């Protein structure tokens, strides 16, 4: 029986690396896009959906720069995705708390709130970031509010391109503590476009984890 790996040590600093330093330590990104992701995952028979900045861009219609491409799958489907990508010549790495290690036959146990990074080999750029999502009883489970469960169709929507995207209020919730300039701009562009039910969901979710956060006061009646 495979053994779960011990908790990974945490970096001394929570400050993210600059793009230049990131590339120096981990290598550059040449991410996929919504125009190329469907072909890349063609044949993978488990649900997947686009999250992060691309999901917000599709929801708002406002273009912005993208450093990576984020797609999520259920944690229980991670092994199937690893095999799918391996058989197509890609290598997978487990990204967990600021650390990377191979996600292969040697290290198959990964935590449900970690992620998978994908590239062809050590000399090639990263193309895909896959933050995993816990599922319970076949239902999407909020990794920050584990008691919250939804059917996947309730928390995602289908774009005109036929791809599935995470709802914008949930994307904002997952990014609520990020303060990069592009994240602040994402919030400014997205908050006023949310429907009343979406604003209510966001305020309740944010308030449950950080009552002092300004989004805990998002008014459903706000323009």
- Token pair, residue 93, equals 């790495």
Distance separating alpha carbons of residues 167 and 155, to the nearest angstrom: 6
Residues 187-207 have a mean pLDDT of: 93
Residues 173-194 have a mean pLDDT of: 84
pLDDT band at 137 (very low <50, low <70, confident <90, very high): very high
Question: Is 72 exposed, middle or buried, given 0-12, 13-18 or 19+ CB atoms closer than 10 A?
Answer: buried
Contact (CB, 8 A) for 177 and 60: no
pLDDT of residue 1: 41
Average pLDDT, the chain: 89
pLDDT band at 162 (very low <50, low <70, confident <90, very high): very high
* Pairing verdict, β 126-133 and 71-74: parallel
pLDDT band at 222 (very low <50, low <70, confident <90, very high): very low
Residues 75-100 have a mean pLDDT of: 95
pLDDT tens for each residue of 47-71 = 999 999 999 999 999 888 888 899 9
Maximal CA-CA distance, the chain: 55
Residue 21: pLDDT above 60? yes
Residues in Cβ contact with 8 at an 8 Å cutoff, skipping those fewer than 6 apart? 96, 97, 99
What CATH architecture is 19-168?
2-Layer Sandwich (3.30)
Residues 140-150 have a mean pLDDT of: 96
Residues 108-137 have a mean pLDDT of: 95
pLDDT of residue 218: 79
Domain ranges within the chain, ordered by starting residue: 19-168
């Amino acid at each position: 029986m495979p053994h779960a790996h011990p908790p990974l040590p945490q970096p001394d600093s929570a400050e993210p690396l600059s793009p230049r330093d990131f590339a120096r330590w981990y290598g550059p990104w040449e991410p996929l896009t919504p125009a190329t992701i469907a072909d890349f995952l063609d044949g993978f028979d488990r649900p997947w959906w686009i999250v992060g900045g691309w999901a917000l861009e599709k929801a708002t219609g406002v273009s912005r720069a993208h450093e990576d491409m984020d797609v999520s799958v259920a944690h229980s489907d991670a092994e199937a995705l690893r095999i799918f990508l391996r058989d197509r010549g890609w290598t997978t790495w487990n990204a967990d708390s600021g650390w990377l290690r191979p996600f292969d036959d040697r290290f198959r146990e990964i935590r449900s709130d970690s992620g998978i990074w994908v590239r062809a080999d050590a000399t090639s750029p990263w193309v895909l970031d896959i933050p995993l999502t816990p599922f319970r009883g076949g239902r999407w489970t909020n990794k920050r509010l584990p008691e919250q469960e939804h059917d996947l169709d309730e928390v995602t929507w289908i774009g005109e391109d036929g791809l599935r995207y995470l709802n914008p209020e949930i994307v904002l919730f997952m990014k609520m503590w990020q303060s990069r300039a592009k994240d602040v701009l994402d919030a400014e562009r997205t908050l006023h476009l949310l429907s009343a039910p979406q604003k209510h969901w966001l305020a309740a979710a944010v308030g449950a984890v950080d009552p002092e956060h300004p989004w805990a006061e998002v008014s459903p009646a706000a323009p």
